[in-house]
Amino acid sequence: MCCSCDAGTAVFCCKYILVVTTCITNLLCGCALLGVGLWLCFEPSVQQYATASGDLKEYYIAVYVIIGVGGLMMLVGFLGCCGACMENTVLLGMFFTFLLLICVAEVGGGIWCYLNREQLKSIVEKGILSTIREAYQEDNQVIVKAVDNMQQQLKCCGAVGPNDWEDSAYGRLPDSCCRGETEGCTEGISFPITLLTVYNEGCTSALFKMLEDNAVLVAGLAIGIGAVQLLGMLFSLCLCCAIRRADREKSYPL
């Protein structure tokens, strides 16, 4: 380990390991999160899912949190690079503290989402149901397009199933519920619906299934980022120790 070498070698070793493996990685991860947040904020196709899922307030709160975390990670990476290059223990201490807070927030957020996944699913379901009941009115063309795109892309119909449309303002199935969407393909279909020509899976379960299909990728990225952050905390402590040791050796040479 670097800290077991002489002070000068330990400082040199820890400094460049910290900069190359951690600080730059945090800068890149921060840029990536910031980019994802901005993409979620402005990409029309993504906003359609949010619009169809109900109230956009929660969606934008989540997006702003992602943007904020991305900006914070960029700041943390910058602090780490400056602290390491300048051999400044105050900046390195701030780097360690911010990394620790980010790690705690990430772990806490992940645990909360896992423990409350059914509650989150219920919230999304209620939002989609509310949207369906208001959809297909003359003043809601944005919602109509969002619902149609969601049902065709996810191959689903309604929040829980196609029968949700019975209580909607539209009063019948939209054409986007058909497996092969054509104009007027749902005419003459009455409730309750069990036909195989329309999608029978609800959009809530289809949406969460899509998220579960990408869970391994998301988990892998989270573990990778977490490992880099832990290394950053470890090497920042080692560098602080090496800097103080080097200062002592300069003050009290043998």
Per residue in 183-209, pLDDT (tens digit) is 888 888 888 887 788 999 999 899 888
Structure tokens at 172: 């019948």
pTM of the model: 0.66
Per-residue tokens: 194: 């069990």
What is the full DSSP assignment across 201-230? S-HHHHHHHHHHHTHHHHHHHHHHHHHHHH
Give the pLDDT of residue 4.
Answer: 46
Q: Residue 98 in contact with residue 254, Cβ under 8 Å?
A: no
143 vs 133: CA distance, rounded Å: 11
The per-residue pLDDT of the chain, averaged, comes to 80
Average pLDDT over residues 91-106: 87
Angstrom distance (rounded) from CA 236 to CA 73: 16
DSSP state of 81: H
% of the chain exceeding 90 in pLDDT: 6
Instruction: Name the residue among 210, 232, 11, 2 with its Cα closest to residue 100.
Output: 232
Q: What is the pLDDT of residues 43-70, one digit of tens each?
A: 666 666 666 655 556 667 778 888 888 8
Q: How many CB atoms lie within 10 A of CB 219?
A: 11
Strand (E) or helix (H) holding 34 = helix 24-42
Average pLDDT over residues 240-254: 76
Higher per-residue confidence, 94 vs 22: 94
